[in-house]
Chain A
């Protein structure tokens, strides 16, 4: 029963309420991603679970045990930090061995586990090096190695990929995903990058200003965002959110339409737009249109074969059965999908 449960957990820094009372359950083997804009409290929430910060109120249960007052070292969790936080004066071997040494395991067992972790992470050739002599990706793997040797209840990742370049980030993302499949352990992962969240998570927790906006599977969040914040945050490029008279006509205060849910025609359609920037990704083309009727820019996905020029006129029509409707408070209107 490797389970983590938060009950009414909140956190204040002085007068500022960084986390408003939160309830959350994380199940055995689940990959949970906390996602949200910077300052939303996602890292603080992770540090509360880790025990690196005290909760202001509420309780944290790990494996059914109340750990709210326990020191980080007694929570049987492992963490991978944004800066990797490797010990610069120790070799890779000693870095990975450190948690085992602290746990007081016997020498042979420690050596065996370090060897195993190094093999799994392709670090065998680097065991005698120091962190300073490694590349970013290798350091990242050492940090993960240090986390997995202890076989903890859960792994905590605090924006682990944000210091890597774009290409390496994609590789490491796959490695972490694979690691999760292989170990089947519980993982909590914090990121501001919704693409990372979508690709890694079993369950995404969207946070904003210390409040959980929505919890759900990636596709659930994509298809059924509960409010305009989640609608705008999940998905790339962003969902188009329209309000005003055109939205009223379609029967809602705010209408959300994803870029892929438009029909594009050269001669007629519901809205007229002037082509601005065109982004050609090869598989898809994203066209940014300025629509005078909507008084805003709209992003639409087009076939990669579409040929348009800057300033050209295009007509777009939204797929009516793919509209997301929100009320004046930004909440999803019920009754319609």
Chain B
């Protein structure tokens, strides 16, 4: 496919990108690993020497660790379940002939383009504010006591906000996948006597399996590092502290860099586990 001349040229052309990403990855990463083995408190004495794995064990044994893991898993899990199930249903619906499909599509996709700080604040104030929020007005209108969303149902509220943001992504990808299904396959199943439910479970769902996996993996990677939505709503209070948020607090708020860095290394390992599965799917796709 190529000659010596073009190959050496290709190496020069790719060099800046490789160099930039290599520096971007290696320098901060090795610094994080370095700090994670130190007692390092920038505002209270700075570098206080090597401590081995102490930060790692302290991070795991701290009282906020397991609740943060629990919250992270709960938020990621719930958002995944909600967005995937609703996403499939909406995608199936949008695949049907309807009037005004273009406008419906545009409306459904919109939340994805809202910056996280804005969507966090819209929900926190205009909708979930217990006195003046839209939902409070709605509750009062039916004679119910308004709910203190962000303090009494804080995690559920966050799940709602994040699901609202990510539902369009899931829907769009699943819709793309459904539309790539060969209509002759559905027709053949119809000729074979499959009812709509059967067609869904035997033809459509297996066809969507890969898209669903991709949605789950990509969303997981993004959801694990959800930050701004929590930052502007509860700031980690009321049991909404995720692993990412906990590390952020350790590093920037309590300025315990060693401890935070150990947490960062855990987060990197966690993300890598998810990434490996995702890369395998992407890699397979590269071959054909």
Which label, helix, strand, loop or mixed, suits the secondary structure of the B interface? loop
Which has the most chain A C-beta neighbours within 10 Å: B2, B4, B5? B5
How far apart are the CA atoms of A253 and B108 in the complex, in Å?
76
Instruction: Tell whether A134 is near chain B: CB-to-CB under 8 Å.
Output: no
Residues of A within 8 Å of B1, CB to CB, are: 53
Output the least CB separation between A41 and chain B (Å): 15
**Interface members, chain B 92-141 (any A CB < 8 Å):** none
Residues of B within 8 Å of A71, CB to CB, are: 3, 5
* Interface residue count on the B side (C-beta < 8 Å): 5
How far apart are the CA atoms of A51 and B6 in the complex, in Å?
11
Fill in one digit per residue for A57-96: 1 if any B CB lies within 8 Å of its CB, else 0: 0000000000000010000000000000000000000000
Output the least CB separation between A43 and chain B (Å): 12
Chain A: CB-nearest residue to B2:
A53
How far apart are the CA atoms of A52 and B4 in the complex, in Å?
10
Instruction: Tell whether A246 is near chain B: CB-to-CB under 8 Å.
Output: no
How far apart are the CA atoms of A166 and B112 in the complex, in Å?
52
Instruction: Tell whether A116 is near chain B: CB-to-CB under 8 Å.
Output: no
How far apart are the CA atoms of A52 and B1 in the complex, in Å?
7
Fill in one digit per residue for A39-63: 1 if any B CB lies within 8 Å of its CB, else 0: 0000000000001111000000000
Residues of A within 8 Å of B4, CB to CB, are: 54
How far apart are the CA atoms of A71 and B9 in the complex, in Å?
13
How far apart are the CA atoms of A71 and B5 in the complex, in Å?
8
Output the least CB separation between A274 and chain B (Å): 41
How far apart are the CA atoms of A53 and B3 in the complex, in Å?
5
Output the least CB separation between A215 and chain B (Å): 27
Residues of B within 8 Å of A51, CB to CB, are: 3
How far apart are the CA atoms of A54 and B2 in the complex, in Å?
7
How far apart are the CA atoms of A289 and B75 in the complex, in Å?
75
Residues of B within 8 Å of A53, CB to CB, are: 1-3
How far apart are the CA atoms of A330 and B4 in the complex, in Å?
39
How far apart are the CA atoms of A54 and B3 in the complex, in Å?
5
Residues of A within 8 Å of B5, CB to CB, are: 71
**Interface members, chain B 1-42 (any A CB < 8 Å):** 1-5
Chain B: CB-nearest residue to A13:
B1
Fill in one digit per residue for A305-318: 1 if any B CB lies within 8 Å of its CB, else 0: 00000000000000
How far apart are the CA atoms of A52 and B2 in the complex, in Å?
6
Output the least CB separation between A27 and chain B (Å): 27
Residues of B within 8 Å of A54, CB to CB, are: 3-4
Output the least CB separation between B8 and chain A (Å): 12
Fill in one digit per residue for B248-281: 1 if any A CB lies within 8 Å of its CB, else 0: 0000000000000000000000000000000000
Fill in one digit per residue for A267-304: 1 if any B CB lies within 8 Å of its CB, else 0: 00000000000000000000000000000000000000
How far apart are the CA atoms of A53 and B4 in the complex, in Å?
8
How far apart are the CA atoms of A294 and B10 in the complex, in Å?
59
Chain A: CB-nearest residue to B1:
A53
Fill in one digit per residue for A168-199: 1 if any B CB lies within 8 Å of its CB, else 0: 00000000000000000000000000000000
How far apart are the CA atoms of A241 and B100 in the complex, in Å?
68
How far apart are the CA atoms of A54 and B1 in the complex, in Å?
9
How far apart are the CA atoms of A54 and B4 in the complex, in Å?
7
Residues of B within 8 Å of A52, CB to CB, are: 3
How far apart are the CA atoms of A54 and B8 in the complex, in Å?
13
Residues of A within 8 Å of B2, CB to CB, are: 53
A53-B1, A54-B4 are known contacts; what are 6 more A-B pairs with Cβ within 8 Å? A51-B3, A52-B3, A53-B2, A54-B3, A71-B3, A71-B5
Of all A-B residue pairs in the complex, the 8 with the closest CB atoms, nearest first, are A54-B3, A54-B4, A71-B5, A53-B3, A51-B3, A52-B3, A53-B2, A53-B1
Q: List 7 A-B contacts (CB under 8 A).
A: A51-B3, A52-B3, A53-B1, A53-B3, A54-B3, A54-B4, A71-B3
